[in-house]
């Protein structure tokens, strides 16, 4: 069937196959590079999310330190930065949620962290501050404040929140390791494709040159020879 094609069609077919192959290799490599770039972006956002998680821990520890200090001393100045630290906690938690939308499990843990903070820790802070002010105003005895402090409610809540933060870090570590494994596989694929293209390309070029010589150049040479013989008056030449 190929022998019946015109010379132009044979050239188009030969070069078309070669160009199509190289185009496929280039595009497939490009898509793999894009997927690698996405993986790197996910890892970068994950580190940013862990940074925000760390910021929530810093804000929480500062709040707990200030509240405990106020419970001991009754110095209102200690509480001046408390609203700011609470805002920092909420802002960092919200930012961490934005940066980890790719993991439903981490989103769930971050929401639990927020719920624990708003539903248990904030009421604990308000209760402790209220008790200290009542003690200073003479409305309740110091023993009531001491009894509440000995319950260690604040420490228990903080420990629970720390446990959630550790669970988030562990989950992110697992996801990062999984991304690294996938990334290594994709890098290996890109390397194989580039090396394969570098090897197959020249071989195909040689094969194409041979094919063109066999299917185009040789018939042309035979035609030229036949024409020359006919022109010289040799009518015995046969035309296949």
| DSSP codes of every residue in 103-118 | -HHHHHHHHHHHHHII
Per the model's pLDDT, the better-predicted residue between 10 and 135 turns out to be 135
- The confidence band for 156, taking pLDDT boundaries of 50, 70 and 90, is very high
Is residue 238 assigned to a domain? no
Is residue 237 assigned to a domain? no
Is residue 125 assigned to a domain? yes
Q: What does pLDDT average to over the chain?
A: 81
Is residue 195 assigned to a domain? yes
Is residue 239 assigned to a domain? no
Look at residue 95 and tell me whether its pLDDT is greater than 90. yes
What residues make up the domain containing 211?
A: 2-228
Is residue 90 assigned to a domain? yes
Is residue 240 assigned to a domain? no
172: which 2 tokens? 């992110």
CA 215, 217, 223 angle in degrees (round to 5)? 100
- List CB contacts of 86: < 8 A, sequence separation 6 or more: 59, 63, 122
Is residue 100 assigned to a domain? yes
Q: How many CA atoms lie within 13 A of 3 on its CB side?
A: 4
pTM: 0.69
* Strands (DSSP E) found in 135-224: none
Number of domains in the chain: 1
- The confidence band for 134, taking pLDDT boundaries of 50, 70 and 90, is very high
Q: Which of 157, 173, 68 is nearest to 112 (CA)?
A: 157
- The confidence band for 85, taking pLDDT boundaries of 50, 70 and 90, is very high
């Amino acid at each position: 069937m190929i022998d019946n094609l015109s010379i132009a069609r044979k050239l188009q077919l030969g070069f078309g196959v070669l160009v199509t192959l190289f185009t496929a290799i280039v595009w497939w490599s490009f898509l793999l590079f894009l997927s690698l770039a996405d993986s790197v972006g996910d890892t970068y956002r994950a580190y940013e999310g862990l940074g925000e998680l760390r910021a929530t821990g810093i804000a929480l520890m500062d709040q707990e330190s200030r509240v405990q200090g106020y419970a001991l001393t009754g110095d209102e100045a200690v509480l001046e930065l408390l609203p700011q630290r609470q805002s920092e906690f909420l802002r960092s938690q919200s930012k961490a949620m934005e940066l980890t939308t790719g993991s439903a499990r981490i989103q769930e843990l971050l929401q639990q962290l927020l719920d624990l903070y708003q539903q248990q820790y904030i009421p604990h802070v308000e209760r402790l501050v209220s008790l200290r002010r009542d003690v200073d105003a003479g409305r309740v005895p110091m023993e009531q404040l001491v009894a509440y402090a000995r319950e260690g409610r604040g420490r228990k809540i903080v420990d629970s929140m720390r446990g959630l933060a550790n669970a988030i870090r562990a989950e992110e570590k697992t996801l990062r390791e999984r991304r690294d494994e996938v990334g290594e596989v994709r890098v290996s694929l890109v390397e194989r494709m580039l090396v394969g293209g570098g090897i197959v390309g020249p071989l195909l070029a040689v094969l194409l040159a041979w094919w063109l010589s066999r299917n185009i150049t040789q018939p042309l040479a035979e035609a030229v020879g036949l024409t020359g013989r006919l022109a010289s008056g040799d009518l015995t030449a046969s035309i296949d």
